[in-house]
Structures are given as C-alpha cells and as structure tokens.
Structure 1
C-alpha cells in the first residue's frame, strides 16, 4: 500500500510539476577556488529566468567536490537569489573519506541536514553504488532515503544516475518502493543514453503519482514523450531558455513548437554532452561565458578531463548558429 504523502511533499510536487530546475554550475578558478562574486551574478541571472527552482550541490555544480565552507556558502548564495524551491544534492563529499557503508550513510545524512539548515526545500539523494552488489541493496537504499527524510525534515528525491558519473541503474521495483515513501516527491532520471532503462523508470515512477523528473540531457524531448513531467538538468546551467522552450511547448500541446525547440536543444546537447562525458561541466561553463553569465576567469572545472581548444570552438559555433535561427 502506498503511504499518504506529507503536506510538504504534496506542495513540492505541485510546485515542481511541469517546470525546469537548472542543475547549476559553480564558478571557480583553475585551482578550484570558488568565485563568490561571480556566483552571485550568475545566480541573479539564472533566478530571473522562467524556472521552477534550482538544484545545487549536484553533479554539474561539483557539489561533492566542494569544501564544506564553500558548499555552505554556495547554498546561501542561491537561497538569497532564488524565490522558488531549491533542491540540494546530498551524498558523500570527497573530503569525508567514508571507509564503509555506515560512514557513507552518515555523511549523506549530515549533508542533507546542512541543506535543511540553510533553507533548501528538498534533498536529492546521491546513489550509493555499493547497494547494487548487495543482496539487500534495494531495501538499504529505501532505508537510506527514509533516514535522510527523518533527519533533515525535507521531502526527498531519488536519483537514478548513470554509472559514468558514479551511480547505478535503479530497477523499476526500487523506484516504486522509493516513491511509496510519504517523504518522496519524485525521482530524477539521468541514464545518459539508455532509452529502455529511462522508459522503464518513468513508467514505474508515473504509477506513484509522484514526479518523474527528467535529467536526460541527450534524450530530453523523448523523455517528456515517455511521460516525464518535470526536469532537473545540467544542460540548463546555461541558455536556460533552450530547455524551457521544450517543456513549455510540450505542456501547451504545441507539438510543432515542441519539435522545433527539441531540435535546437538537441544540437546544443550534441555540442556539450559528448565523450568524454565528464567534460560536459567545462563545456557548460564555456557556454556560460559566451552568454555573459560567468566571467572567463571563473569558468574552470578542475575536476573534469582536459579538453582540446577545438571543443570550446564547437560549443561557441553551436550557440552562434542557434541565435541566428528563428524560434
């Protein structure tokens, strides 16, 4: 039997359904020092877009790599800028050095409590990939989400994250079990390029009445057609309007506009979400510089792979081409 959702969960589902939440970047220099002046300017620009809220401490913002003081100040900055909901990632920070599963649980819970203390509206629980190989892994994953919600007092989102980013495939039954929790508002799906897994996960989530949140930067339009009803995506860290136009056209039933907007977003995704996939953070920062969101000296991702100059040129050519196209 599905438990009755809490009022906070129901309110969050209502506020997020049909909207885009950018998984925002974190402006840094080459050494990984966060530029908080640049962050404030970036946050103000993103907050002025037509968004449902933002996601901080997520993979795009390198949330698990940030030092604790930087992480806390990042969320404070976004809380000051954004009136809508803030979803904060909660996982095991790189600095925690959790040596066993219990310590990983504790670190995830501690990060969620910090998010709540700083005014976040929900937490998105990073997957613990160790669960995938454990006989009781599904039950442990459910209990982790329960404990996070109990400790921080906020609604939770599940996070089906592809293995290249440190996650593992959530089977449909796990998604159904997670979304049966009263505190669970939905699940974000970031399968990267696994269409069947994405479809199965959306079907499992939709049966709950909770949010099926697409994080499918390379399958954004199709994921809406498969039943996703909101979005939390790194591709919206810059040029938010490209992503927003797709979901707005879909919600309005304007399928001609949906096809055109999807084509534009797909071209941007092809230039930014490509092998090596971890390079997408740097590519999105380059897009942010082109758009005037982030200054050049704060547009570095020290945690991703080195990329050739030609990749930046490709991102810029794509953006320049999209500007010349009619909406």
Structure 2
C-alpha cells in the first residue's frame, strides 16, 4: 500500500460519521479579517461535537482571501482543532479569469500551501474551466494529490455557487483514485443529482460520501451519505451533529425530530439569493455568541434587507423556546 493510499484510508476512517463545519471567516464591513474574533470562534467551534473543520471553503470565502489571511486562518484552526483540517483549493479571485492550465496551476499552488500550513486533506473546488472534460477533472485531482502529498476530496458544487456539477460517471472515476478519500456533495436542491452521485459511489471500498446538503441534510443521509461537511454547522454544530448521530444510531424518532428542527433553520438561511447564506450564517453565529457583531460581515455576498436578519433570529428564538419547553423533554 502506498503512503498516499494509507493516508487516504486513515482520513476516511477518522471522518466517517462526523460533522465538519465549513466555517465562516470573521470579517469587518471592509472585508478585513478579524483575527481576534477568529480565535474566539475557533475555540467555541472546536469545543463542540465536530470531527474536524473545513477552511478556505465557500462558506469561509476562501477564494477571496489573501494568501497571508488564508495562512493565518488555517493556522488558527490547526491550533484549535484536534481532528482533521480540510482546506479548500481552487482559483483565488485575485487571479482573475484564466484558462484551464492556469486554473489547474493556481489550484495546485493553493493545495501545496495548505499542506505547508498543516492541513490534513484538500477539497478541490470544481473548476468551471473543465467545461465537461471528465479526463481533465480526474487529472486535476491526481495532480493536486501528488503535489500536496495529501488525501483529496472531490467537490460536487452547485452552479449557483460557481460550481461544476460532476456527472455520476465522473464521481465513480474520482472515487476509484487511491488518493481520493471521498466526494463532497452540495447540489443545493437537486435531489436526483444528489441521489445519482451517491449511487455512483457504489460500494466505494471505504471511500466517503460527504453531504454538504444543507437543505436536504436528513434525506441525503437516508440516501447513503456517511459524514457531513456543511455551512449550516458554522453556527449550529450541535443540532447538525444531533441529526447525524441519531441516524447512525438507528434512533429514527430522534432523527425525525432533529432533522425537522435543522430543516427549520435551513429554510431560514438557505434560499435565494443563495449567496446570501454566508451573511445569514454570520447573523446566526452572532445570536449564538460565536462571533461579535463587528466581525460578522460578508462583503462578498449580496446586500440583504434587515427583514432577513429578523427572520433568522426569529427562527433561532423559536428553536430555543422549543428546547426549553415540554416538547423537548
């Protein structure tokens, strides 16, 4: 067995059955990262029921950060979390529009930087430049793994977030690579695409099928996902973990209750404009006491009306009242 394959199998075993929050990056209204707020946020998230964290992901605006900020964000989470740290790798926004070769080079460079910073695995953003070329997608994952020396997660990201939807045949090819630990699904609302991708994984020989389906979280577990890497856990770790734990324990009544509660929160945070979910998650993190108000800005998403914040808070208050009332006993 190669060293890479051994690392891949070890990572899959550590992540199976766990939740990895796709964490936000605390920023002010100008987009300046608040590293003081970040330290407090890492400590609070790390104290929860997490199997690790995902940094530089879409929720954390990883492609928008400077190299220096990415390095400091990774270092903060590496210091706080005992479990694996998975880092996103793609084309930084500063690079601008590029062709496929340059996009691959930029993705590989970001993956190498993640390895140098102590990441345990790389989640490869789906490149729009692939333009349906499955062979190029496979080659991209192979090159990232070889250059970084880290296990890789394929990332099936919906088009609304700038992703490239991998067909089932490509999912199967990626999972056949020794360096690929699993595939992360984020189809948003495409139930058939999610089911088809999970089916394409087949027996998958120890590989992970990681749900990123915030609006289809419970169903994706029922369809066969075995771990989670989700933006919704950037603010609601305990509730997200409760759904996964109940499902894996065969506690179907507990699963239905927890899944219904998570669905209520997802409905209040993941909807059009979908890019607004990052700001909504930051608002939730403020309410939860995870972030200070001044560090809860997403300058890269749409400007949202105050009514949306009130709806997020109302949902959280309602869930909290349920926790305190007879229905939670």
Q: Structure 1-normalised TM-score?
A: 0.97
Residue pair 1:4, 1:182 contacting (<8 A) in 2 also: no
Residue 295 (structure 2) aligned to one of 294, 298, 321: 298
CA offsets per residue over residues 210-267 of structure 1, 9 Å max, x none? 1010000000000000000000000000021110110000011000000000000000
Listed as ranges, the matches of 1:94-243 within 5 Å are 94-133=93-132, 137-209=133-205, 210-243=207-240
C-alpha distance in 2, partners of 1:98/1:169?
A: 20
**Cα shift at 1:98:** 5.0
Listed as ranges, the matches of 1:22-41 within 5 Å are 22-41=21-40
C-alpha distance in 1, partners of 2:312/2:241?
A: 19
CA offsets per residue over residues 103-130 of structure 1, 9 Å max, x none? 1000000000000001100000000122
Query: Is residue 2:4 matched to residue 1:8?
Result: no
C-alpha distance in 2, partners of 1:206/1:39?
A: 39
1:92 corresponds in structure 2 to 91
C-alpha distance in 2, partners of 1:128/1:207?
A: 27
What is the SS of the residue equivalent to 1:307? coil
What is the SS of the residue equivalent to 2:228? strand
**Cα shift at 1:101:** 1.0
**Cα shift at 1:132:** 2.9
What is the SS of the residue equivalent to 2:33? coil
Query: Is residue 2:313 matched to residue 1:310?
Result: no
Listed as ranges, the matches of 1:74-93 within 5 Å are 74-93=73-92
CA offsets per residue over residues 47-96 of structure 1, 9 Å max, x none? 00011100000000000000111111110111011110000000000112
**Cα shift at 1:5:** 7.2
Instruction: Give the aligned length.
Output: 322
What is the SS of the residue equivalent to 1:219? helix
What is the SS of the residue equivalent to 1:187? strand
Residue pair 2:103, 2:129 contacting (<8 A) in 1 also: no
C-alpha distance in 1, partners of 2:238/2:272?
A: 24
What is the SS of the residue equivalent to 2:214? coil
1:21 corresponds in structure 2 to 20
2:66 corresponds in structure 1 to 67
C-alpha distance in 1, partners of 2:235/2:78?
A: 19
2:49 corresponds in structure 1 to 50
Residue 256 (structure 2) aligned to one of 256, 259, 265: 259
Q: Structure 2-normalised TM-score?
A: 0.96
C-alpha distance in 1, partners of 2:99/2:198?
A: 32
> Moved runs in structure 1, 4+ residues, more than 3 A?
none
Residue pair 1:5, 1:181 contacting (<8 A) in 2 also: no
C-alpha distance in 2, partners of 1:98/1:154?
A: 27
Structure 2 gap ranges (5+): none
CA offsets per residue over residues 150-200 of structure 1, 9 Å max, x none? 000000000000000011211111001001110000000000000000000
Residue pair 1:206, 1:227 contacting (<8 A) in 2 also: no
C-alpha distance in 2, partners of 1:248/1:242?
A: 10
2:265 corresponds in structure 1 to 268
